Chain A
């Protein structure tokens, strides 16, 4: 029975991670095709990828879009959550629903909607347009995380701060934001990862400057190459790094 549960454990992790392991393994392939047999290890594809201007620019574009759009989504989400948690407005339940609703819409639909809307108002496809798209998908996420983290406990602390002479700006900067730090970090880093990995919106809303997933897509169209494995591994490395940062900052248990 015990052996069986270990076997299950191994099987489930193999199922989850085997594709990534294969991807990373064949990024060290020496030959021209990322297929067995493995004849590495070799770092030549990494060297090629890192020397590729187009790829490196796409990587910088991706980072730029992810950081800017996540910052905007976080700010807007925070303000919306703070407003709806603090002030009783008529129809605040509906507003909350409308803010979260885009989460249920597929990225493809959002991308198509943005594409036709940008066409109507005459905005050309660009990294900025993609950034707007990423704000649209990440705002509901940031709002939901932050709204859930705001409780009476915090409301009372804010009231105490106001009573002790803090202005509204000081309340937010010195009490609200520090108390919400775990939720703020979680929302920000999740937004960054979602934006970093996002393909379809970036594909439809960029033209000359593209993000990394779009660049990888165009590489794939010219056939399989260990170079795509190498860049895939680098993307994976960034995601892992974000995960580790999250683990160390947000999910670490406070020492008591």
Chain B
């Protein structure tokens, strides 16, 4: 099952701290949305509001068009997959996954069958009789996913579920998470502070900062055409151009990604000296400094073979320059 989600002017304050400031967002049914931002930006608070663990100071949450005001977590069409998995240590995997069905009053035979199907979905059917402490971190994570999906939620909320896994396992789980989401079609709202993870799994990314939405769009859009200075910086390296170089477009700053700085392009950056380089496998990461009085630093990712000698002065060019706002 699946449903769309609408957040209308959501604000949340804890004492004098404004955790969320007038958030307006809507997600389509079956969409994989990632809430991305540094710690303390309000992304987890927003997730808890969606799940019903927190009622917003003001604003409305609608899931499938239904107002969720005053609806307890257990009565919402949402389930949450928690950061530490929160599995029940005294129950077998089968009973863990079947717990939500048991609460709905489903009989033992039916819920065991359903629980085993869900475990099959995450590749753990053969371990149905085991206890959580017998599993590895990645396996526990899969059980938590199966448990949250077993009750057929319209919206699945994931609170930094991959945070505790090592890098390789995290990349593998991202692919699995995305594949499972495609298969079940449930709306996923996923919180993370890892922008690579966000780009790898999201249909659309919400970039958050200090309780506000900085940017909202497909990964390509967010990365290539960031709206704000914050988004541009958070999504990767960005070179800020001196005021007199950019094409006349409104904005407080103009930026260009390192891969769009090179020896040819639309905008001439002037001569620059190569200070240092580092080899990154598919490209060289080069630190340049302009030869004029400002000595503007530029980072460029040059393709293999294009590398000037260290200390050489070459004319630099940029393409795909974006105009950046101070705030959304």
Which residues on A are within 8 Å of B, measured CB to CB?
A: 152-153, 156-157, 159-167, 170, 174-175, 178-179, 181, 254, 256
Q: Which residues of B contact A159 (CB under 8 A)?
A: 53, 73, 80, 82, 86
Q: How far is the CB of A195 from chain B (nearest CB, A)?
A: 28
CB-based contact B103/A160 at 8 Å: no
Q: Chain B 58-93, CB within 8 Å of chain A: the 1/0 string?
A: 000000000000001110001110101011111000
Offer 25 A-B interface pairs, CB within 8 angstroms, sorted by A: A152-B84, A153-B86, A156-B82, A156-B86, A157-B87, A159-B80, A159-B82, A160-B80, A160-B82, A161-B99, A162-B73, A163-B51, A163-B53, A164-B74, A164-B79, A164-B103, A165-B74, A167-B74, A174-B88, A174-B99, A175-B88, A178-B88, A179-B89, A256-B133, A256-B134
Bound Cα distance A165, B89 (Å): 18
Q: How far is the CB of B59 from chain A (nearest CB, A)?
A: 21
B249 interface residue (CB < 8 Å to A):
no
Lowest 3 A-B CB distances belong to which pairs?
A165-B103, A164-B100, A160-B86
Q: Which residues of B contact A181 (CB under 8 A)?
A: 90
Bound Cα distance A164, B88 (Å): 12
Given B53, B84, B90, B100, which contacts A178 in the complex, CB threshold below 8 Å? B90
CB-based contact B84/A179 at 8 Å: no
Given A156, A166, A254, which contacts B84 in the complex, CB threshold below 8 Å? A156
CB closest chain-A residue, reference B52: A163
Q: Which residues of B contact A164 (CB under 8 A)?
A: 74, 79, 99-100, 103, 147-148, 151
- Beyond A162-B74, A163-B74, A164-B147, 20 extra complex contacts between A and B, CB < 8 Å: A152-B84, A153-B86, A156-B82, A156-B86, A157-B89, A159-B73, A159-B80, A160-B80, A160-B87, A160-B147, A161-B103, A164-B99, A164-B151, A165-B100, A165-B103, A165-B151, A174-B88, A178-B90, A179-B89, A179-B90
Q: Dominant SS at the B interface? A: mixed
CB-based contact B84/A163 at 8 Å: no
CB closest chain-B residue, reference A166: B103
CB-based contact B133/A170 at 8 Å: no
Q: How far is the CB of B277 from chain A (nearest CB, A)?
A: 47
Bound Cα distance A254, B132 (Å): 13
Q: How far is the CB of B100 from chain A (nearest CB, A)?
A: 4
Given A178-B90, A256-B133; A165-B104 close (CB under 8 Å): yes
Q: How far is the CB of B252 from chain A (nearest CB, A)?
A: 42
Bound Cα distance A254, B134 (Å): 11
Bound Cα distance A218, B86 (Å): 55
Q: Which residues of A contact B86 (CB under 8 A)?
A: 153, 156-157, 159-160
Q: How far is the CB of B101 from chain A (nearest CB, A)?
A: 9
Q: Which residues of A contact B99 (CB under 8 A)?
A: 161, 164, 166, 174
Bound Cα distance A152, B74 (Å): 20
Q: Which residues of B contact A175 (CB under 8 A)?
A: 88
Bound Cα distance A166, B74 (Å): 7
Q: How far is the CB of B303 from chain A (nearest CB, A)?
A: 48
CB closest chain-B residue, reference A152: B84
Q: How far is the CB of A172 from chain B (nearest CB, A)?
A: 13
Residue among A157, A164, A166, A170 with the highest chain B CB neighbour number at 10 A:
A164
CB closest chain-A residue, reference B80: A163
Bound Cα distance A98, B86 (Å): 32
Q: Which residues of B contact A174 (CB under 8 A)?
A: 88, 99
Q: Chain B 222-260, CB within 8 Å of chain A: the 1/0 string?
A: 000000000000000000000000000000000000000
